[in-house]
Amino acid sequence: MNLNVTKLMGWLAALTLVAGMVMGFGVAPRETTQGNVQRIMYLHVPTAWVAYLAFGVVLAASIAYLARRRAGADRLAHASAEVGVVFTGLTIAAGSIWGKPTWGTWWTWDARLTSVAILFVMYLGYLLLRGMIDDQERAARYCAVLGIVAALDVPLVHFSVYWWRTLHQPPSVLKPGAATMPPAILAALLVNVVAFTLLYVYFVAKRVRLLRAESEALA
Amino acid sequence: MAWKDLLVERRSKETLNSLLFFSLALLFVFQFALDADRERLSAVLPGLLWLAFILSGMLGLGRVFLVERENDCWEGLLLAPGDKSAIYLGKLAGSLALMFVVEAMVLALFALFFNVDLAPVLPPLIMVIALGTVGFAAMGTLFAALTAQARARELLFPVLLLPVLVPVLLGTVKATEAVLLHEPLAEVAHWLKLLVAADVIYVVAGLLTFDFILEG
């Protein structure tokens, strides 16, 4: 991505983040049963979405790398995995802070919590593998394989853990039928989703640029 | 390929012997940790059984590509004529054979030391264990190749393998539990389907991606 476009993305992300905060703390009403704790959702749901988006990008970039062998695809996968791991961590942390007052516990072995935690460990392993192989081209190839295998595993993990146990809130936006949220809350949530998606694009663009500079400096 | 590895293994017996003593040591550890409470033991038996399989399997599978590495034959694998997926299948067959032998030993040791009567449930038990082992070995072989050239590979291998194998582990432990409680297999049909799906996905993924690992 062009430097100016990247800068523009950064400013857009900052602006929408501010808008998201205003929407989340100002415009959206206090939820009656959960109180202000519910506002964590404006962080939790967007970061979770970005995490899945990031790992989807890792899959696509990995396939692209194995097919075309462009170093750019590999850098995109690398950057996206890093940002994805950070956002997965944020999702878990925010969820924990919400879970303590709501469920009465920081952590429970519920289906969705467990599968996100497994995802977190899986992609941490991906980054580890990258760091442990000295040869650049080989690291790219091996990580592409791992990126594909890990993504293939996600649905299996999802089903197995779901059958194992479940307690999480059923999804309230992406389900058939009308959303069961007041419009103000839904609007605040969507603004935050857009904001965090822009932030993701900005981070990845920055990281890809940095990785390119690194490999050019080493070459 | 499988034939060559099995032959090497039969000649040297180093992996198999070590694994036998390792699983014996594991049994002692389990025994000390749980203190032989019959009630508690039967509740956790499926989990223990699979813990023993995983730990000894991981030690064994981590070595799958070590023969080539130690003897500088990695280039030989790269230059091997024909389809690279044949090498994968060969290695997978070797891993499977190794794991089945180890599992048979562990089962016998469990039956002996924990006083469990496995004879009436043996056919379904073998089926469940086989289903789980195929998935385990398919991913284990692929990841052994992935980590063979990495630094700290002994550490990296289980770190990568364990989270990916969670579906297989959950499925087999649940199915083994049902078998040991003399429940009909129909009760855990969804787990068996998941295991079959995982096995197919893992083996196909291994076949398709193995080419890229053996490029250089």
Rounded Cα–Cα distance for residues A81 and A53 (Å):
10
pLDDT beyond 70 at B189? yes
Where residue A120 falls among pLDDT bands split at 50, 70, 90? very high
Interface probe for B, chosen from A59, A118, A142 (most Cβ of B below 10 Å), is A142
Which chain B residues contact residue A156 at CB under 8 A?
167, 194, 197-198, 201
Give me B85's structure tokens.
């997926």
Where residue A83 falls among pLDDT bands split at 50, 70, 90? very high
Q: Which pLDDT does position A85 carry in this prediction?
A: 96
Which chain A residues contact residue B156 at CB under 8 A?
125, 128-129, 132
Interface probe for A, chosen from B146, B162, B200, B211 (most Cβ of A below 10 Å), is B146
Q: Mean pLDDT lowest for which of A116-125, B39-48, B147-156, B185-194?
A: B39-48
Tell me, rounded to whole angstroms, the distance of Cα A5 from its chain centroid.
22
How far are the Cα atoms of A17, A89, A98, A125, B13 from residue B71, in angstroms, in the given order?
Answer: 57, 42, 55, 28, 17
CA of A59 to nearest chain B CA: how many angstroms apart?
13
Mean pLDDT taken over chain B: 82
CA of A30 to nearest chain B CA: how many angstroms apart?
39
Q: Which pLDDT does position A168 carry in this prediction?
A: 55
CA of A127 to nearest chain B CA: how many angstroms apart?
10
Query: Which range of residues forms the domain containing residue B51?
Result: 2-213
Which chain A residues contact residue B160 at CB under 8 A?
125, 128-129, 146
pLDDT beyond 80 at A167? no
Where residue B210 falls among pLDDT bands split at 50, 70, 90? confident
pLDDT beyond 60 at A179? no
- Give, for A73, the enclosing helix (H) or strand (E): helix A71-103
pLDDT beyond 60 at A177? no
- The nearest alpha carbon in chain B to A154 belongs to B164
% chain A with pLDDT above 70: 92
Q: Which pLDDT does position B70 carry in this prediction?
A: 67
**Number of domains present in the structure of chain B:** 1
Q: Is A27 within 8 Å of A39 (Cβ atoms)?
A: no
pTM higher than 0.80, yes or no? yes
pLDDT beyond 90 at A127? yes
Where residue B113 falls among pLDDT bands split at 50, 70, 90? confident
Q: Which candidate from A145, A153, A164 shows the least CB-CB separation from B146?
A: A145
Residue B66 burial (CB count, 10 A):
14
Q: Which pLDDT does position B155 carry in this prediction?
A: 86
Which chain A residues contact residue B174 at CB under 8 A?
164
Q: Which pLDDT does position B34 carry in this prediction?
A: 75
**What b/e readout covers A163-174, taking b as 16+ CB neighbours within 10 angstroms?**
bbeeebeeeeee
B193-208 tens-digit pLDDT: 889 999 999 999 999 8
pLDDT beyond 80 at A8? yes
Q: Which pLDDT does position A23 carry in this prediction?
A: 81
Asked whether the beta carbons of residue A142 and residue B213 sit closer than 8 angstroms, the reply is: yes
Where residue A207 falls among pLDDT bands split at 50, 70, 90? very high
Q: Mean pLDDT lowest for which of A6-15, A23-32, B147-156?
A: A23-32
Per-position DSSP letters for A129-197, written without gaps between them? HHHH---HHHHHHHHHHHHHHHHHHHHHHHHHHHHH---SPPPSSSSSS---S-HHHHHHHHHHHHHHH
Q: Which pLDDT does position A84 carry in this prediction?
A: 95
pLDDT beyond 80 at B180? yes
Phi-psi region of A55 (alpha: psi -120 to 50; beta: other; left: phi over 0): alpha
Write the ipTM.
Answer: 0.82
Residue B6 makes CB contacts below 8 A (sequence gap 6+) with B94, B97
Grouping H, G, I as helix, E, B as strand and the rest as coil, residue A31 is strand
What residues does A35 pair with on adjacent strands? A31
Q: Which pLDDT does position A53 carry in this prediction?
A: 94
> Terminus-to-terminus CA distance in chain B, angstroms?
19
Grouping H, G, I as helix, E, B as strand and the rest as coil, residue A35 is strand
Q: Which pLDDT does position A119 carry in this prediction?
A: 92
Q: Which pLDDT does position B81 carry in this prediction?
A: 66
CA of A83 to nearest chain B CA: how many angstroms apart?
19
Residues A173-197, mean pLDDT to the nearest whole number: 76
Residues A43-51, mean pLDDT to the nearest whole number: 91
Residues A126-149, mean pLDDT to the nearest whole number: 91
Letter for the amino acid at A17? L
